[in-house]
Structure 1
């Protein structure tokens, strides 16, 4: 829509300029302005009927335009077809537009007219560029979709995956101890119920984190409170002006680091520190757990690194017998 609007604006300006410099009948100028106004209005309408009407209006605008630039509007046709219907449709429409341009220029001896041949070549170059832009846009869309799938995979693992695993383990324990130790079975069921509540809280936090205007500091406070005693938070600065990508990366990193510290490293004390500088956000999560012991990185830490790298930052992990410190730095 933005590309079309920009092209419409250029064509309208060129037509108005030509009308001022040459003796164009007022009725023709008025018709041209009305057609361009209708094209702007159709930008908000989608569907096959709107597309056909748009192409018809392109032809009318090309006839009424005193500058001759309105023929460039037809470059948008293969561009749109490419994005909506794929490469074959885009190339077929481009070939049809080129054939239509030849039909318009066709006249006895037109191949000997340098201006006519130049117009045809420029139109052909425009078609090539339009198809190239559409190919790039389609590729970006594919990469964005792949990135979104990876992000959702990380979110499921970082959040619900931990809780569902804990619920499954506790329920298996309850089933195993149901006859031998009813007290232990009841405790396992209670632990599973607690994990279910935590999963629900995590879903709420995730939904909050998806909002473009979510408050990172408030979200971190809620996350720390969710993990209970022994977890403290220190904030230096404010997240005002921090981008959505940076906020989400920091929040998810804190979530993953806290989960690892409390559930896997057996930490009794965890300090979460976040500092907002003029150009970056730095998160430090330090625990007193047993460390990683040189074990290979799991999916959670890999996801943390991927998310930080997408935000233009990085992750550093320092682990030893005295605990683990995870440091995440992303530009604001």
Structure 2
């Protein structure tokens, strides 16, 4: 929500000053002041100001602003006639001040010149009296100061509006990026597992009568894939909440006796995107070690220091051989690359070591 209209306090403060000066002049017998009319006129000005600011907190539409400006000008002139102190004439500086917010500096400057001409014309013989010359000079200075104040206030208002619009755009882009990330996670994980389930169930259906053992094994494979899919969906939903990599890794390997996990350092200095990429890499590395390398022991190590985050997944399986990388590894490389890191894989018949390194922002 945009900030409220700038410098809204100027008009009420000037009205209060005119009221004090007019009442003092009436009590002291200085000039001819009609206190009831003065109070009523000033009260009406304050009501108009408050009603406008409440209805149009940022900028008044031009047509309505023109009507209100004419109403205020009439009130300023009327107050100048009922105020014996002469201070009410200063309210005319609010004409260009108010116009600046609705019509811009050109209209405001033109009205300021008009107010100055009106003040000169309404003061016959001013050039023969030092006091009146001084009053007109001070009035001109007041016009310049109010125009300057209005220009600064408008610039500040427009700057805040641009800042709020920029913040809203950034928030929308961040939300869109997060939605894309979640969609990518669901597509990569859930799509893979659902495909595996369909294939397994088709296999079970095909071998149901001829080879019941093969069909039963296929059903069990489908069940395992369904459980993995459920786990991945839960992880995707969990990723929408504040993410803590050590806790997530503990949950990932919980109950898996063939996986040894070590974590050193603190994740505080590392971006959430980098930590998510490490978690996904650990998940993919463990899955590949079991499914493809047929490993019996898997060691997962995470090092988090001031310069980089590093994940290592080492297994004692049969290695990758000359097989091409699958979609899982390709997706891992894409995630890590988006976080500004790299993926290294060393494989031999004695086992495979997956290493993911992501520098801290500014350390690359």
In the superposition, the TM-score normalised over structure 2's length comes to 0.56
In the superposition, the TM-score normalised over structure 1's length comes to 0.61
Structure 1, unmatched stretches of 5+, are 40-49, 75-96
What are the Cα deviations for residues 274-308 of structure 1, in whole angstroms up to 9, with x where unaligned? Answer: 12224543211223442263735x54444434433
- 2-side partners of 1:145 and 1:247: how far apart? 19
Q: RMSD of the TM alignment (CA)?
A: 5.1
3-state DSSP of counterpart to 1:327:
strand
Is residue 344 of structure 2 the alignment partner of residue 317 of structure 1? yes
Is residue 298 of structure 2 the alignment partner of residue 270 of structure 1? yes
- 2-side partners of 1:24 and 1:309: how far apart? 68
Contact residue 97 and residue 108 of structure 2 kept, 8 A: no
- 2-side partners of 1:209 and 1:70: how far apart? 51
How far is 1:273 from its partner?
A: 0.7
- 2-side partners of 1:275 and 1:101: how far apart? 60
Is residue 221 of structure 2 the alignment partner of residue 194 of structure 1? no
**CA, structure 1 residues 215+270, in 2 after alignment: closer, same or farther (shift >3 Å)?**
same
Matches within 5 A, 1:215-234: 215-225=244-254, 228-234=256-262
Contact residue 306 and residue 360 of structure 2 kept, 8 A: no
Contact residue 197 and residue 223 of structure 2 kept, 8 A: yes
2:213 to 180, 183, 192: 183
- 2-side partners of 1:71 and 1:148: how far apart? 45
- 1-side partners of 2:232 and 2:57: how far apart? 49
How far is 1:100 from its partner?
A: 6.6
How far is 1:272 from its partner?
A: 0.9
What are the Cα deviations for residues 52-108 of structure 1, in whole angstroms up to 9, with x where unaligned? Answer: 665459979xx8997x88889x6xxxxxxxxxxxxxxxxxxxxxx6x6765555549
Structure 2, unmatched stretches of 5+, are 21-41, 73-90, 115-139
What residue in structure 2 maps to residue 148 of structure 1? 178
How far is 1:157 from its partner?
A: 3.8
3-state DSSP of counterpart to 1:318:
strand
3-state DSSP of counterpart to 1:210:
coil
Is residue 322 of structure 2 the alignment partner of residue 286 of structure 1? no
- 2-side partners of 1:137 and 1:120: how far apart? 26
Q: Whose radius of gyration is greater, 1 or 2?
A: 2
How far is 1:185 from its partner?
A: 0.5
